Amino acid sequence: MELQRRLDILIGLAEELGLTVRREPLGGDGGGFCRIKGQRILFIDTMGDLETRYERTLEAVAGIPEIEQRFVPPEVREDIERTLGKRLEN
């Protein structure tokens, strides 16, 4: 599955889970998840290359517990599990 499609799937999941998705120019290496006044926001850095945008979005979405309750295509689920495994190692 191509990387852009994987990114689109992650963004769609984030929106389904109630996150506000904001696409902002953040310098090319930013993006991620935060809470502002209780609202969950996922920032997508529009200046980042596709791989960076995907990795930052993957890191953000992987940390959302509700993701376990959703269907995620196997290729993307593997990426999520890989990301969670890295967190456990650190």
Q: Give pTM, 2 decimals.
A: 0.89
What structural domains does the chain harbor?
3-89 (3.30.2010)
Q: What is the mean pLDDT of residues 80-85?
A: 90
- Name the pLDDT band for 63 (thresholds 50, 70, 90): confident
Q: What is the pLDDT of residues 18-36, one digit of tens each?
A: 999 999 999 998 899 999 9
Contacts 24+ apart (CB under 8 A), 26-29: 28/52
